[in-house]
């Protein structure tokens, strides 16, 4: 590959990352609009606790498949077919994988709908202590469960499009979920009783629409194939072998959040809702940057592994890590220091009371502490999965889950729901540290030069930004009594100034932004 081709490849890589980030950013904006409406209309009552449990389970699977295990298993195998086989063989592989996956998903969906009451008992045993939370959660889960099938097929279609360089549409599909749920909250609630059930129907309908949006683009790329169930296909066997353990290993952060929900079901009404909104705020940097970088890096790593370019493989990981930390650390600092204004501005309206803001703020601060770790996990896990090494991340994930469960049990009494999110953060750092240690020890990842300089520059910039946010954050009374437009305007102004201070501080410290324009430089 000559110099011009290298530059073109780097620019293409950055364009793809930027496109995915932009589409994901749009999705997160619509997601915030959705959550602001839900908080204002429904508050943090038992109906919302029930819905968020029914939504969290399929949403967990969305992250597991769309941004996690299935993509991590499917993309490397598809990349091998793309590199070593003809296009007709790729289409046969896609047909057989989609057929087998579709059959399994259909059966799982039927079982999930039938077994919804038992699933609720497993994931929220505390709901059984009284009220309508258990009954409503099981009824809504039977409605939302088909979302698993549609979003998993959407994940496969999106992974195929990503592998062939088409990133925009797969990154845009989450917008549909947000738009449909907004419609359900604004109009659907007037037609369905109890009104909160309209949200469950919105989730199911959105999954259907998300999948069928992919179809014309698959056809345009000649990737639309008729599903066939052939379990003996070598490619299908390889994907299944990689995917089954990866279901556990790659999404340990999300599994930890489900563990948090189990513990939270024993806490007062509203705890599950507070945790949901906490997750939504921390999910913004994770989705916009963490998932975007990991999504674009995975096919690149898979191809570098297939072509045995080990040096470029390591440089790709190094680029991803530095890019993640460049945005992940200030995101965590901002979320921690500015937690109360963020919660008040995003959700503190209507039936979402001042007490709800205070409780959500506490869990947001402790979960935000783990944001850099959760983002790093996504990049480091790609380093293993691109090499089709599933066992190592799974073992680490198992230990991290054990650490999280022990910490949850220890911290729930003194810190209540905030202790659960702190446990998730600490388990995330354990997971990320173990992945990094093994990648380095096995010489899969060799850090590039200038890490000390990078750490000093980023550290100084974050301190200056954090001091600014702390000095101007104000108190609860100030934010809670501002009008909606004023809250959002003031919030946007301070966040923009903080971002400017961060970037200006980096520049003043001699930070070289050009280093991040290209991959592996």
Average pLDDT on 190-195 reads 92
Do the Cβ atoms of 480 and 520 come closer than 8 Å? no
Decide if pLDDT at 256 tops 70. no
Decide if pLDDT at 518 tops 60. no
Q: DSSP 3-state assignment of 444? A: coil
pLDDT in the model for residue 54: 93
Identify which has the larger pLDDT, 344 or 170. 344
Average pLDDT on 311-334 reads 91
Average pLDDT on 278-298 reads 80
Decide if pLDDT at 66 tops 50. yes
Total length of the chain = 521
Alpha-carbon 415 to chain mean position: 25
pLDDT in the model for residue 517: 63
pLDDT in the model for residue 151: 87
Residues 263, 13: Cα–Cα separation, whole Å = 42
Q: Which whole-number Å values give the CA distances from 430 to 69, 102, 204, 404, in the listed order?
A: 20, 35, 35, 10
Q: Which residues contact 193 (CB under 8 A, 6 or more apart)?
A: none
Decide if pLDDT at 521 tops 50. no
Closest CA to 142 of 54, 59, 258: 54
**Which of 53-67, 99-113, 415-429 is the least confident region?**
53-67
Please, which pLDDT band fits residue 63 given cuts at 50, 70 and 90? low
Quick: pLDDT tens for 354-403.
Answer: 999 999 999 999 999 999 999 999 889 888 878 878 788 878 888 998 99
Decide if pLDDT at 23 tops 70. yes
Closest CA to 370 of 400, 410, 398, 413: 400
Residues 382, 251: Cα–Cα separation, whole Å = 12
pLDDT in the model for residue 307: 75
Decide if pLDDT at 170 tops 80. yes
pLDDT in the model for residue 516: 66
**Burial call 128-155: b when 16+ CB within 10 Å, e when fewer:** eeeeebbebbbbbbbbbbbbbbbbbbbb
Q: Which residues contact 509 (CB under 8 A, 6 or more apart)?
A: 456, 457, 460, 461
pLDDT in the model for residue 156: 87
Identify which has the larger pLDDT, 460 or 521. 460
Please, which pLDDT band fits residue 247 given cuts at 50, 70 and 90? low
pLDDT in the model for residue 258: 74
Closest CA to 367 of 292, 473, 286, 436: 286
pLDDT in the model for residue 462: 98
Average pLDDT on 166-175 reads 83
Do the Cβ atoms of 373 and 425 come closer than 8 Å? yes
Quick: pLDDT tens for 425-481.
Answer: 999 999 999 999 999 998 888 888 889 999 999 999 999 999 999 999 989 888 988
Residues 488, 352: Cα–Cα separation, whole Å = 16
Structure-token pair, residue 363:
């869990």
Decide if pLDDT at 295 tops 80. no
Residues 344, 357: Cα–Cα separation, whole Å = 6
Residues 495, 405: Cα–Cα separation, whole Å = 35
Average pLDDT on 277-305 reads 80
Average pLDDT on 111-129 reads 90
**Which of 7-11, 141-145, 312-316 is the least confident region?**
7-11
Identify which has the larger pLDDT, 37 or 58. 37
Quick: pLDDT tens for 76-106.
Answer: 888 888 888 888 898 999 999 999 988 988 9
Quote the mean pLDDT of the chain.
Answer: 87
């Amino acid at each position: 590959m000559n110099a011009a081709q290298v530059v073109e490849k780097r620019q293409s890589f950055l364009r793809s990352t930027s496109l995915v980030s932009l589409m994901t950013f749009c999705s997160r904006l619509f997601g915030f609009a959705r959550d602001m409406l839900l908080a204002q209309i429904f508050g943090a009552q038992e109906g919302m606790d029930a819905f968020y449990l029914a939504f969290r389970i399929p949403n967990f699977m969305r992250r597991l498949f769309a941004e996690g295990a299935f993509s991590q298993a499917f993309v490397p195998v598809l990349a091998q077919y793309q590199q070593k086989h003809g296009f007709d063989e790729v289409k046969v592989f896609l047909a057989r994988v989609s057929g087998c996956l579709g059959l399994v998903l259909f059966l799982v969906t039927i079982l999930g709908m039938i077994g919804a009451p038992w699933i609720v008992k497993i994931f929220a045993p505390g709901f059984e202590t009284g009220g309508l939370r258990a009954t409503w959660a099981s009824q809504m889960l039977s409605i939302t469960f088909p979302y698993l099938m549609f979003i998993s097929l959407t994940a496969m279609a999106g992974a195929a499009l990503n592998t062939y360089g088409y990133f925009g549409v797969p990154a845009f599909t989450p917008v549909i979920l947000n738009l449909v749920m907004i419609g359900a909250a604004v109009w659907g609630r007037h037609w369905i009783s109890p009104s909160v059930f309209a949200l469950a129907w919105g989730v199911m309908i959105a999954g259907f629409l998300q999948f069928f949006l992919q179809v014309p683009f698959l056809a345009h790329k000649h990737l639309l194939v008729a599903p066939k169930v052939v379990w003996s296909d070598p490619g299908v066997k390889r994907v299944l072998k990689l995917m089954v353990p990866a279901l556990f290993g790659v999404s340990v952060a999300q599994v930890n959040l489900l563990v948090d929900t189990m513990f939270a079901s024993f806490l007062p009404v509203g705890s599950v809702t507070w945790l949901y909104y906490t997750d939504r705020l921390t999910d913004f940097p994770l989705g916009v940057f963490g998932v975007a970088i990991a999504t674009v890096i995975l096919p690149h790593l898979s191809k570098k592994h297939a072509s045995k370019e080990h040096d470029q493989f390591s440089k790709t990981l190094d680029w991803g890590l530095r890019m993640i930390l460049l945005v992940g650390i200030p995101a965590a600092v901002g979320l921690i220091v500015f937690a109360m204004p963020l919660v008040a501005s995003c959700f503190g309206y209507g039936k979402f009371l001042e007490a709800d803001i205070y409780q959500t703020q506490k869990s947001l601060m402790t979960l935000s502490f783990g944001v850099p770790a959760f983002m790093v996990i996504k990049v480091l896990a790609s380093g293993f999965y691109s090499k089709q090494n599933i066992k190592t991340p799974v073992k680490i994930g198992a230990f991290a889950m054990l650490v999280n469960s022990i910490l949850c049990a220890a911290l729930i009494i003194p810190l209540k729901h905030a202790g659960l999110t702190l446990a998730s953060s600490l388990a995330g750092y354990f997971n990320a540290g173990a992945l990094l240690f093994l990648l380095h020890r096995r010489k899969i990842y060799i850090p590039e030069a200038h890490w000390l300089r990078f750490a000093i520059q980023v550290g100084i910039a974050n301190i200056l930004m954090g001091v600014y946010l702390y000095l101007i954050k104000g108190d609860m009374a100030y934010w809670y009594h501002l009008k909606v437009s004023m809250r959002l305007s003031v919030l946007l102004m301070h966040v923009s100034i903080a971002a400017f201070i961060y970037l200006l501080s980096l520049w003043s410290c001699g930070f070289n932004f050009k280093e991040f324009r290209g991959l592996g430089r």
